[in-house]
Amino acid sequence: MKQQGSTREPLTPAPEFSLCLSSTPRGARLARTLAVQQLIEWCGSSYDSETARTVALVTVELAANAITHGRLPGRDFRLTLLLLPHALRIEVTDTRPECLPPTPTAGPASADTTSGRGLLLVEAYANRWGCIVRDAFTKTVWAEVAVVE
């Protein structure tokens, strides 16, 4: 007996890349490199494209915040990349759910400060960003960067 069914194609999940990295400056640099490499592989962008530079900047800022504010000794952070229809979603998961990122202010408090501008950059370069606490052990800060074809 022939079974009738839908002629629609099954939904395919968005391409995803996920990896744990050390909560060190080296881990943040590797996150940046891997994010750009994955963007190039998925979208065919070039290393010197505006999109690749934006992905690099946003990724390293999220990773730097994870290793600076979300680190527990001996615990890594996770980089996850999702290719959405018109954006690359960059997620960085760390082990400090109680340390939520502050809402960026209109500008830095002082011109001579050497830190505190990372989320201002993320807000300026990403289309959207936010934070999700899914359990008692981790939080994920995410940002979406438009993929220009």
Residue with tokens 């190039």: 40
Please classify residue 23 by burial: count the beta carbons closer than 10 Å to its beta carbon, then call 0-12 exposed, 13-18 middle and 19+ buried: buried
pTM over cut 0.75: yes
Residue with tokens 């996770």: 78
Contact of 76 with 20, CB cutoff 8 Å: yes
- Please tell me the predicted confidence (pLDDT) of residue 73: 81
* Radius of gyration in angstroms for the set of CA atoms belonging to the chain, rounded to a whole number: 17
- Tens of pLDDT, residues 50-103: 999 999 999 999 999 999 887 788 789 999 999 999 999 999 999 988 888 887
How many other β-carbons are positioned within 10 Å of the β-carbon of residue 19?
15
Domains of the chain: 23-100+117-146 (3.30.565.10)
Distance CA 77, CA 93 (A): 6
pLDDT at 6 over 60: no
Please tell me what DSSP assigns to residue 13. Answer: P
Tokens describing residue 83: 């290719």
Mean pLDDT taken over the chain? 86
Does 72 or 31 have the greater pLDDT score? 31
Does 103 or 112 have the greater pLDDT score? 103
Coil, strand or helix at 14: coil
Q: What percent of the chain has pLDDT over 90?
A: 66
Calculate mean pLDDT across residues 98-127: 75
- Residue 115: pLDDT band by 50, 70, 90 thresholds? low
Query: First vs last Cα of the chain: how many Å apart?
Result: 46
Using alpha carbons only, what angle is made at residue 15 by residues 62 and 13, rounded to the nearest 5 degrees?
120
